Amino acid sequence: MSLSDINPQIDPGADARVPTDVGSTPATTNGATNGAAGLKDTAVNSESSIPPRAAQAYDSVKNAQITQDLANGIPTIHSVRRLYSYIKGPVATSVKNEANATSNEFSALAGSRQTPAHSAANDTPLTHYHSFFYTLLSWKNPRATGATFASVLVFIFACRYLPIIRYALKLTWMTLGVVTLAETATKLAAGGSLTSSIRPRRYYKIPKETLEATLDDVEQLINFFVIESQRVVFAENILVTGAIFLATFLSYYLVKLLPFWGMALLGASVIFLGPLIYVMNQELIDSNIEHATKVVTQQTQQVKEIAGQHTGKALESARTYAGEYAGAASDLLGKSRQKIPALNNSVKKEDFPTAPKTTLPSEPVRSDPVGPATTTSGSEIKPEPVPAS
């Protein structure tokens, strides 16, 4: 079956890709496009005479990706040049601007290491790392903080999945092995030394100023953690102390479930993302905290009032019972006094003996262990009788 049998308007001797009605379809240099358009017009004009299988084949060819690409046209060299100029122009400028902004933020972060004007609650001076970590974690420089957070995560995953210590040892023994072999081969072959030709005139030393500055920074960093731990323990900021209490309480149970690198990853995420969430929702969080503070204050005041009322009632009851018990005790004491008989003044002065008016003898009294006491002259001393009362 020929094309003339399907559509009598098509010349069998002409090109099958070009329709007979040239005015209906503009001619282009792309033969595939003209052929597809011609076949489409032919199929439309002779829709009733196309077999079902031919229509399905036409639809499959029409909807193929290669047909769509050919219909849309292959990118020319001018399109490629325009794309390259776009990438080289706006994209390169945007990347350069972002790099400059990131560098400026890192410089601002490094310049934030200034000793704060305020001090602790007990007038302890703070370190410049207080300002540094506050600027870092408050996301005032988002690019610098984000890059720091990403580097921390990369370091944690590297420690987890990469044998860094083995790589360091491997690099060390390979370097020393190459140097040893090269030096030995050079001395055996040429009688000279290879390392002496590349050896520096003087070995590098850390300058004293750099070392002192580094040690000062280390001292400031250690004092930062020491001061902050004491401020947390002595509850200088009750919210911070409560938050760290909650974190340590949860860590006590999570450490049994998570490995060390998982705990480090979770801690880094909380430290960096917690302030970011607060900064992004500061108004909402502050309003909720203020509302919760008011509620707690009201409840505390109510508890104080109720406690005061109960305390007053308890004191009043105690005073009443104390008065009653005091009255009962007074009654008991009065009754006991009435039962005690009164003493009669029957004792007179004459009932007592009169005191001797003469002086005692001056002779010393000799005491005989066997006989009665006698004076020096030998007379016996008799005791005076005591009158009965």
User: Using one digit for the tens of pLDDT, what is the confidence trace for 61-70?
Assistant: 566 555 555 5
Q: How confident is the model at residue 192 (pLDDT cuts 50, 70, 90)?
A: confident
Q: What whole-number distance in Å separates Cα of residue 235 and Cα of residue 228?
A: 10
CB-based contact 132:113 (threshold 8 Å): yes
CB-based contact 224:133 (threshold 8 Å): yes
Condensed to tens digits (0 to 9), the pLDDT of residues 314-325 reads: 888 888 888 888
Average pLDDT over residues 337-350: 60
pLDDT value, residue 60: 65
Mean pLDDT rounded to a whole number for the chain: 77
Condensed to tens digits (0 to 9), the pLDDT of residues 80-106 reads: 566 566 566 666 778 888 889 999 999
Q: What whole-number distance in Å separates Cα of residue 341 and Cα of residue 339?
A: 6
Q: Which residues of 201-221 are buried (b: 16+ CB within 10 A; e: fewer)?
A: eeeeeeeeeeeeeeeeeeebe
Q: Please give the C-alpha separations between residue 100 and each of 90, 93, 143, 238, in angstroms, as whole numbers.
A: 15, 11, 11, 41
Q: What whole-number distance in Å separates Cα of residue 44 and Cα of residue 163?
A: 69
Average pLDDT over residues 287-310: 89
What pTM value is reported for the model?
0.56
* Residues in CB range of 132: below 8 A, 6 or more apart: 109, 112, 113
- Greater confidence (79 vs 268) lies with 268
